[in-house]
């Protein structure tokens, strides 16, 4: 049995690795890969795991870690400030959506008791997918994302009554049901109060003592234990495990250990979240999907449309911006993972039939599969649905009216953007900032900064910022794909606008220039140039020659600064393996295939590998001539991307 279980786990991991690799190559979200791996491993295809529910508790641990990480991003004052969203928009969305789908179910001839459960299941959204996607996109602090998170938090709370009610529908009277719900409410208030108290006064002391030991393993273990204990405590009292983990993370969100905690929990969170989505895929019944295919597809479309409209209306009643409400609704239009838990429970207690449960699960998985795309494009879709084609915010009109023309537009007001703004102000040069972080915009506007709230990738925002009269558009954030979209939008507004882009690494230069950037400033290379300038100055090199050298390097796109010798600590990730440039010394032994050949006959240029130098008899041969014939013992220094360097070395030594 143990050997079979081990083999099952290995095969499941192999499937996950293969599908994630393939899907990432196709630029598709990893979530879809996990869902497909689950479908294949589940009882519908290979029956590798004939009982997917056996893995549910382990998979739910991933959800616990996800909500713990989310809690770290929130503080209690911040949550209290959002209470009108959580208990206003969240409550409204849950009640209205449940009512709509309950009525539809009742009209379809389903028993009244079951209609409420079905309505509640369809009203829930996927906390796991939505939060994971907005975290990956880096938009967790934007208003539309916080609105979606507020609704999700209320939905997690709303799951509790359904989990209590379902087992009692066929066995308890009205009086007993009301009593049990009241007791559940009291227990919930007590456990939440206890967690908040411990988190406020106990956890900071615990982590302070653990940090003093300077033991990384103990810090990691304590982080995992706190998340699991908080989730386990709420689960013990009949509440959601995710809710307890969120409260624990929120209490630690204001501590000095916030970023270390987040870094420690991330590997466990990502692995277990993958397992969570695999178990969801396992629950898809292909027989039911085929038998009820068109009903399921039509149902998914109608459910998603209704949920978008409900969030839009409820958020509008709460005073939210038009486009923000549409964007949040698009993010929340899928069926949630807790719906599967309620469906399984309702089916087990005879509240709904197994076929009805399978149909709901099928619709949920399909809606989840399209959610990553909808989250990624929610802002563009919302812009088309909104009456006003761009995000507006109080104060934007005043900032736009203050534009005098011939100004600099700064896209992104982080560390770099703020530094540039300070020096522009000292020189008396007018500027206008665009930023999508509502907290940063609010703080900056209070301090008197000329700043617009919005997404710089939208043409309307750029036009509001006066792109037609600007002398320069400066993109300061280090998100390459977003920078390309800003450049494209700027060129559509005004073809000849000067666009300068700040980037952290030099391997994005070609893509940004190809997108239409006028000047790209790689932070790392410019820092190297400043250091080199100081070194040359102290070494006695005249300043005129230093300035000439710096200009040459910039004009040549930092050609002499590219490439480095890799070491044991050099990190190569999936995203950088084809972007870094290595320098490698190839020692030509007595049997090297390239011996006796002049350099010009080598096919290195076709491999896009360049020769940086040659050493012969322990001496450097500067700028080796193309006619130079290679000899045994020569050391050829080549430069290129890691895989190309590897192929070039094989070619030089083996000849193939």
pLDDT tens by residue, 352-365: 887 888 888 888 88
Residue 307 lies in a domain: yes
Q: Is the pLDDT of residue 2 over 70?
A: no
Q: Which residue has the higher pLDDT, 29 or 636?
A: 636
Asked whether the beta carbons of 550 and 535 are under 8 A apart, the reply is no
Say what the pLDDT of residue 392 is. Answer: 43
Asked whether the beta carbons of 38 and 13 are under 8 A apart, the reply is no
Same domain for 87 and 231, yes or no, is: yes
User: Whole-number mean pLDDT of the chain?
Assistant: 78
Read off the pLDDT band of 399 (50, 70, 90).
Answer: low
Asked whether the beta carbons of 501 and 521 are under 8 A apart, the reply is yes
Say what the pLDDT of residue 53 is. Answer: 65
Residue 557 lies in a domain: no
Same domain for 367 and 450, yes or no, is: no
Write out the residue range of the structural domain in which residue 600 sits.
582-654
Same domain for 135 and 229, yes or no, is: yes
What pLDDT, in 10s, does the model give residues 400-436?
555 666 889 999 888 888 888 888 888 888 899 888 7
Q: Is the pLDDT of residue 42 over 50?
A: yes
Last residue of a domain, one of 472, 492, 517: 517
Q: Which residue has the higher pLDDT, 574 or 52?
A: 52
Asked whether the beta carbons of 186 and 202 are under 8 A apart, the reply is no
Say what the pLDDT of residue 369 is. Answer: 81
Say what the pLDDT of residue 309 is. Answer: 92
Q: Is the pLDDT of residue 112 over 60?
A: yes
Structural domains in the chain (count): 4
Which H or E run contains 379?
helix 378-385
Q: What is the CATH number of the domain that holds 644?
A: 3.30.70.1450
- Average pLDDT over every residue of 236-261: 74
Residue 559 lies in a domain: no
Residue 464 lies in a domain: yes
Say what the pLDDT of residue 75 is. Answer: 61
Same domain for 468 and 343, yes or no, is: no
Say what the pLDDT of residue 1 is. Answer: 45
- Average pLDDT over every residue of 444-464: 79
Say what the pLDDT of residue 31 is. Answer: 72
- Average pLDDT over every residue of 511-530: 81
Residue 549 lies in a domain: no
Asked whether the beta carbons of 477 and 410 are under 8 A apart, the reply is no
Cα atoms found within 13 Å of the Cα of residue 515, Cβ hemisphere only: 22
Say what the pLDDT of residue 578 is. Answer: 52
- Average pLDDT over every residue of 231-251: 78
- Rounding to the nearest 10 degrees, give the CA dihedral for residues 190, 193, 198, 200: 180
Same domain for 243 and 362, yes or no, is: yes
Say what the pLDDT of residue 404 is. Answer: 61
Q: What is the CATH number of the domain that holds 416?
A: 3.40.50.720
Residue 565 lies in a domain: no
- Average pLDDT over every residue of 213-231: 81
Residue 556 lies in a domain: no
Q: Which range, of 285-289, 295-299, 530-534, 578-582, averages the lowest pLDDT?
A: 578-582
DSSP 3-state percent helix, strand, coil across the chain (nearest 5): 65, 10, 30
Say what the pLDDT of residue 389 is. Answer: 47
Same domain for 219 and 133, yes or no, is: yes
* The pair of three-digit structure tokens given for residue 149, joined into one six-digit string: 């998170």
Q: Is the pLDDT of residue 119 over 80?
A: yes
- Average pLDDT over every residue of 46-64: 71
Q: Which residue has the higher pLDDT, 186 or 597?
A: 597
- Percent of all residues in the chain with a pLDDT value above 90, rounded to a whole number: 4
Same domain for 86 and 67, yes or no, is: yes
Residue 572 lies in a domain: no
């Amino acid at each position: 049995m143990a050997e079979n279980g081990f083999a099952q786990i290995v095969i499941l991991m192999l499937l996950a690795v293969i599908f994630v690799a393939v899907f990432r190559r196709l630029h598709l979200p990893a979530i879809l890969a996990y869902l497909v791996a689950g479908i294949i491993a589940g009882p519908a295809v290979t029956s590798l795991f004939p009982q997917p529910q056996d893995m549910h508790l382990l998979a739910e641990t991933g959800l616990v870690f996800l909500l713990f990480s989310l809690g770290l991003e929130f503080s209690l004052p911040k949550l209290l400030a959002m209470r009108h969203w959580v208990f206003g928009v969240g409550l409204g969305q849950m009640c209205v959506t449940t009512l709509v789908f309950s009525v539809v179910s009742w009209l379809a001839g389903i028993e009244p008791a079951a209609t409420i459960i079905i309505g509640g299941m369809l009203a829930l959204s996927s906390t796991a997918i939505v939060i994971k996607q907005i975290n990956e996109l880096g938009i967790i602090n934007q208003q539309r994302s916080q609105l979606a998170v507020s609704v999700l938090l209320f939905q997690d709370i709303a799951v509790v009554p359904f989990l209590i009610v379902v087992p009692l529908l066929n066995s308890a009277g009205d009086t007993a049901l009301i009593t049990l719900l009241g007791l559940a409410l009291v227990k919930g208030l007590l456990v939440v109060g206890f967690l908040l108290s411990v988190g406020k006064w106990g956890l900071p002391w615990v982590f302070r003592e653990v940090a003093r030991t300077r033991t990384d393993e103990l810090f990691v273990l304590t982080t995992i234990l706190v998340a699991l204990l908080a989730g386990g405590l709420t689960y013990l009292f009949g509440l959601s495990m995710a809710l307890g983990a969120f409260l624990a993370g929120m209490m630690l969100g204001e501590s000095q250990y916030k970023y270390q905690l987040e870094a420690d929990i991330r590997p466990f969170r990502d692995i277990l979240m993958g397992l969570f989505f695999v178990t969801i895929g396992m629950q898809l019944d292909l027989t039911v999907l085929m038998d009820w295919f068109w009903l399921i597809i039509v149902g998914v479309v109608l459910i998603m449309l209704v949920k978008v409209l409900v969030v839009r209306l409820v958020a509008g009643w709460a005073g939210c911006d038009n486009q923000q409400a549409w964007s949040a609704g698009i993010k929340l239009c899928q069926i949630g993972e807790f719906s599967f838990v309620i469906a399984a429970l309702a089916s087990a207690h005879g509240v709904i039939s197994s076929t009805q449960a399978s149909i709901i699960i099928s619709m949920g998985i399909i809606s989840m599969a399209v959610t990553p795309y909808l989250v990624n494009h929610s802002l563009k879709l919302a812009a088309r649905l909104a009456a006003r084609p761009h995000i507006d915010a109080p104060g934007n009109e005043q900032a736009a009216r203050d534009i005098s023309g011939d100004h600099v537009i700064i896209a992104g007001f982080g560390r770099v953007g703020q530094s540039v703004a300070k020096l522009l102000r000292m020189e008396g040069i007018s500027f206008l900032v665009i930023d999508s972080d509502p907290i940063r915009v609010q703080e900056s506007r209070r301090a008197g900064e000329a700043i617009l709230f919005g997404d710089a990738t939208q043409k309307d925002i750029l036009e509001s910022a006066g792109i037609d009269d600007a002398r320069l558009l400066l993109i300061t954030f280090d998100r390459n794909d977003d920078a390309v979209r800003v450049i494209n939008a700027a060129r559509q507004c005004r073809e000849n606008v000067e666009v300068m882009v700040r980037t952290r690494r030099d391997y994005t230069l070609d893509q940004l220039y190809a997108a239409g950037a006028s000047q790209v400033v790689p932070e790392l290379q410019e820092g190297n140039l400043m250091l080199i300038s100081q070194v040359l100055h102290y070494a006695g090199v005249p300043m005129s020659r230093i300035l000439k050298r710096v200009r040459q390097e910039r004009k040549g796109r930092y050609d002499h600064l590219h490439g480095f010798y890799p070491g044991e600590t050099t990190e190569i990730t999936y995203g950088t393996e084809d972007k870094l440039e290595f320098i490698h010394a190839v020692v030509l032994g007595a049997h090297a295939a390239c011996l006796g050949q002049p350099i010009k006959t080598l096919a290195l240029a076709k491999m896009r590998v360049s020769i940086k130098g040659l050493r012969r008899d322990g001496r450097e041969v500067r700028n080796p001539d193309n006619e130079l014939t290679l000899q045994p013992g020569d050391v050829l220094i080549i430069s290129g991307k890691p895989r190309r360097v590897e192929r070039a070395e094989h070619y030089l030594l083996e000849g193939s």
